[in-house]
Structure 1
Amino acid sequence: MTTEGPQDLNGDLIPDLSEMAPHYLSWGPNTSGPMFTGTAEVEPVGSFFYEPYWFDYLNPSLGMASLTMTQRLSIGLVKNWEFDISLPFISNQASAPTAPAGTTVNAFGMGDTLVWLKQQLTNDADPFHFWARPALALEYQFTLPTGHFLNLDPRLYGEDQTGDGTYNEAIYLIMRKHFKPFMLYLQLGDIIENPTQVGTGFTFNNVIATTHAPQTVVNGNLLWFSGALEHVLNDKWGAGYVLEFFGESQTGQNLLFGPANAPAWSFLWVDPGIEVTWPDTEHVSVTWGLAMGFPVYQSNYPATYTPMGTITVYYNGPFGYRGE
């Protein structure tokens, strides 16, 4: 004699997965997007992406170049929440005037680690009309000082420094608005950098000033502002171009720790770029992006030229991508 197992007649034993499904976008092709400005939509539950990207910060006036090769992983946790971690590896090079004429020094190491949670607040109400409600998100970010900043080798003229040595807390407001065939992005952030103890030869985060003796460094409040306009020329291939601006400004006052002894500085860059998506299947998509950053304005900060590129490998989980 056999007996039947329990029957889920009322649907109590099997969770309703539809409750975890993301908001569906009737237009929203998967594209590479801006280099600095984030997206307000989070990864769906069960989806993730891996993004290796590189930024080559070139400072001709200082004879310096800093190639940052960052590895980012983003995971959809629960509905409207995403977890991210970013691990940078940095290759620094300096010649005159930072190093003596006729010499070149090189150093390589791990940079500071970023971890953050992103919470999506609203969905794009209508991806075909500009004045409809945009998608909004808050990002809660933390910096871990995993880069090298102590016991610097004077023979390397500061090039072995790959981190700022500070624990940071940051919050960002991110917006994205689709209005076919365009997308508009905006991001504003406030970063609090905790005091840290450094040694001789430490370079402040304006890349110019250095310490002449061990001291406690207090950085001022750091503001982040960026935005972009993306024009998708071909939905199937995620092909298009991006016009982006990005800037930061550090004040002379820390919100929590009082007057700063680190230099105040600011800059503004523009970085036009191109993008394409290939391959693009039901479960796996790969986006490719190239851009070039140009200095527009700087105060107590070196003029910086930045070629950059990114490859993002998406795994689309049970709910697929956010749209079509």
Structure 2
Amino acid sequence: GPVHLYSVQDPFVNFTYGITNHLEFVAGTSVNSFWAKDSDSFNTGEGGLWKTNTGLGDTSVMLKYRPIVQDPDTWRPSITMQNEITLPTGKWFTGTESPPGGFAPLGRFPSTQFGSIGFTEGVTCRKIIQPFRISCGLYYTYQLPGSDAGQNTYSPDLINTRLVVEHILSDKHGFGYNLEFASLHGVPWRLDGHELNRGQLHGFSTLGVQPGIQWRFGDTNLVGAAGVLFTVAGQNSFGAIYPNFSVFWYFPPKGKNVIMR
């Protein structure tokens, strides 16, 4: 039956290195935990055992190429092309199980099918118009076929979208607020042409909205952000609430400031 209670913790560690003004390397991994109970037995008063699991999550490695860097004196934005591979390191090394629904929280972006090898192509756009920062992205993910009891499994390809508007109230303190719109769509097809036999065979969609705040810790390169992501609409998908907290540490060249591209 449907899941009555579902929770995933995602301490996600991300490393980004700017190779040049146009080229960027990113790698990230996580630790995942979930607790779940079937609601059919819960609602009938029968209780039931919790299903729990903790282990290493998927690992993402990506290369970003920025052919266009925004001009602060014109409307020209930054345009970035993203190439990413997602590896099921948790499944390989710690036997981590897939959470109910097969996905880590919508806040992990771009979201991919848990425990699968995936290839993502994306394009993002960013523009700073003081005191606002606007960014958006579109991503397409193809996942390699899986295997279950000797049978090949084929799950839907994925489309992720994102739009973020930030309002910086104080540049000195890095304090501001933002509103983020994120969506995840499972499409009823695969690039390799195979017929789907896993997941939502007719596709699914999830739309989330996240208000948040961000700030700088004193006169340092440490920046924090916190928000709550609400799933406000969807089809054939889970509705949930995801509290998020992030900390970023920047390592600018000596005597220089970090420039948001």
Same fold? TM cut 0.5: yes
Partner of 1:77: 19
Residue 229 (structure 1) aligned with residue 172 (structure 2): no
Partner of 1:133: 76
- How far apart, in 2, do the equivalents of 1:235 and 1:151 lie? 43
Residue 321 (structure 1) aligned with residue 225 (structure 2): no
- How far apart, in 2, do the equivalents of 1:98 and 1:91 lie? 23
- The alignment covers a number of residue pairs equal to 241
- How far apart, in 1, do the equivalents of 2:66 and 2:216 lie? 24
Residue 110 (structure 1) aligned with residue 49 (structure 2): no
Paired letter, 2:237: Y
Residues 105-138 of structure 1 deviation map (CA, whole Å, 9 limit, x = unaligned): 43210111100001111111126x6xx1111111
Partner of 1:143: 86
Give the conservation status (yes or no) of the 8 Å contact 1:62–1:96: yes
Greater displacement, 179-188 / 69-78: 69-78
Partner of 1:88: 30
Once the two structures are TM-superposed, the CA of residue 99 in structure 1 deviates from its matched residue by: 7.9
Structure 1, unaligned runs of 5 or more: 1-59, 200-213
Give the secondary-structure state (helix, strand or coil) at the position aligned to 1:147.
Answer: helix
Give the secondary-structure state (helix, strand or coil) at the position aligned to 1:247.
Answer: strand
Once the two structures are TM-superposed, the CA of residue 171 in structure 1 deviates from its matched residue by: 0.9
Partner of 2:109: none
Greater displacement, 314-323 / 228-237: 314-323
Q: 1:221 to 1:102 in 2, by over 3 A?
A: closer
Greater displacement, 256-265 / 236-245: 256-265
- How far apart, in 2, do the equivalents of 1:294 and 1:275 lie? 18
Residue 271 (structure 1) aligned with residue 221 (structure 2): no
Give the conservation status (yes or no) of the 8 Å contact 2:55–2:94: no
Structure 2, unaligned runs of 5 or more: 105-112
Once the two structures are TM-superposed, the CA of residue 79 in structure 1 deviates from its matched residue by: 3.8
Once the two structures are TM-superposed, the CA of residue 145 in structure 1 deviates from its matched residue by: 1.4
Partner of 2:183: 247
- How far apart, in 1, do the equivalents of 2:99 and 2:141 lie? 24
- How far apart, in 1, do the equivalents of 2:98 and 2:129 lie? 49
Partner of 1:290: 226
- How far apart, in 2, do the equivalents of 1:103 and 1:221 lie? 33
Q: 1:98 to 1:66 in 2, by over 3 A?
A: farther
Give the conservation status (yes or no) of the 8 Å contact 2:56–2:94: no
Greater displacement, 232-241 / 216-225: 216-225
Give the conservation status (yes or no) of the 8 Å contact 2:27–2:61: yes
Residue 176 (structure 1) aligned with residue 146 (structure 2): no
Q: 1:99 to 1:315 in 2, by over 3 A?
A: farther
Residues 68-109 of structure 1 deviation map (CA, whole Å, 9 limit, x = unaligned): 111111112234111111111001112342887154343210
TM-score when normalising by structure 1: 0.68
Give the secondary-structure state (helix, strand or coil) at the position aligned to 2:250.
Answer: strand
Paired letter, 1:147: G
- How far apart, in 2, do the equivalents of 1:216 and 1:265 lie? 21
Once the two structures are TM-superposed, the CA of residue 321 in structure 1 deviates from its matched residue by: 1.2
Partner of 2:110: none
Q: Which has the larger radius of gyration?
A: 1
Q: 1:157 to 1:72 in 2, by over 3 A?
A: closer
Q: 1:96 to 1:260 in 2, by over 3 A?
A: closer
Residues 160-218 of structure 1 deviation map (CA, whole Å, 9 limit, x = unaligned): x887332111111111111110011110011111101135xxxxxxxxxxxxxx63221
Once the two structures are TM-superposed, the CA of residue 226 in structure 1 deviates from its matched residue by: 0.6
* CA root-mean-square deviation: 2.8
- How far apart, in 1, do the equivalents of 2:114 and 2:3 lie? 22
- How far apart, in 1, do the equivalents of 2:54 and 2:40 lie? 17
Match 1:187 to one of 115, 137, 150: 137
Partner of 2:108: none
TM-score when normalising by structure 2: 0.83
The answer to which structure has the higher strand fraction is: 2
Give the conservation status (yes or no) of the 8 Å contact 2:165–2:179: yes
Paired letter, 1:67: Q
- How far apart, in 2, do the equivalents of 1:116 and 1:143 lie? 9
Paired letter, 1:92: F
